[in-house]
């Protein structure tokens, strides 16, 4: 393996995306070649500092309310299940009596009239992604173009072929 080969594979090496034997070959070369060693260390340091910054951001998240909310959810589900078990033990005539009572109170209740508040409840807002793009119109002189979208941030790519041939990737 030459220094040129290592330069080509440097990014993939730091991201540990190379197959094991290539990874070892790059590591062996960098171990014996001071200039490649410096390049690997520089990129690794940059990679680590970005990773550290991301981890620090994650550490500042306040997750203290998560477990109490989960416990509350479990408690609600269990209590619902307890009620279902109790309801199954009630005899049929009891259920019929309860249904009749409910129907009686339903028809006795005056019709609901809306108050002075807003006429419509606010619509539930959809989550907007930071790079969300809506294509309202698109035309091209090229017979081949593609729309690609990445889900996490909503990044949209419009890929066009200059020679009209199939897009290679």
Within 45-74, the residues that bind other proteins by CB under 8 A are 46-47, 50
23 near 16, Cβ under 8 Å?
Answer: yes
Residue 10-39 contact track with other proteins, rule CB under 8 A, x = bound: xxx---------------------------
Determine the Cα–Cα distance for residues 47 and 43; give it in Å rounded to an integer: 6
Q: Is 43 left (phi over 0), alpha (psi -120 to 50) or beta?
A: alpha
Q: Which is nearer to other proteins, 85 or 127 (CB)?
A: 127
The residues, any chain, with a CB within 8 Å of residue 47's CB and separated by 6 or more, are 14, 15
Determine the Cα–Cα distance for residues 21 and 9; give it in Å rounded to an integer: 13
Mapped onto helix, strand or coil, the DSSP state of residue 150 is coil
**Which part of the chain contacts other proteins (CB under 8 A), choosing from 56-64, 72-80, 115-123, 137-145?**
137-145
Determine the Cα–Cα distance for residues 40 and 31; give it in Å rounded to an integer: 10
Q: Which is nearer to other proteins, 37 or 155 (CB)?
A: 155
Q: Which is nearer to other proteins, 46 or 99 (CB)?
A: 46
Residue 89-128 contact track with other proteins, rule CB under 8 A, x = bound: ---------------------------------------x
Interacting residues toward other proteins by CB under 8 A: 7-12, 46-47, 50, 128-142, 145, 148, 150, 152-163, 165, 167-169
């Amino acid at each position: 393996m030459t220094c040129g080969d290592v330069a080509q594979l440097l990014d993939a090496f730091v991201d540990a995306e190379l197959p094991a034997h290539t990874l070892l070959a790059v590591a062996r070369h960098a171990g014996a070649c001071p200039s490649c060693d410096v390049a690997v260390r520089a990129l690794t340091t940059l990679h680590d500092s970005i990773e550290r910054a991301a981890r620090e951001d994650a550490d500042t998240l306040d997750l203290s309310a998560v477990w109490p909310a989960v416990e509350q959810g479990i408690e609600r589900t269990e209590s619902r299940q307890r009620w279902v078990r109790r309801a199954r033990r009630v005899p049929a005539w009891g259920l019929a009596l309860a249904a009749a009572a409910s129907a009686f109170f339903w028809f006795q209740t005056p019709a609901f009239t809306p108050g002075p508040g807003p006429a419509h409840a606010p619509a539930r807002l959809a989550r907007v992604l930071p790079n969300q793009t809506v294509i309202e119109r698109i035309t091209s002189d090229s017979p081949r173009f593609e729309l690609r979208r990445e889900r996490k941030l909503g990044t949209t790519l419009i890929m066009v072929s200059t020679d009209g041939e199939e897009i290679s990737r």
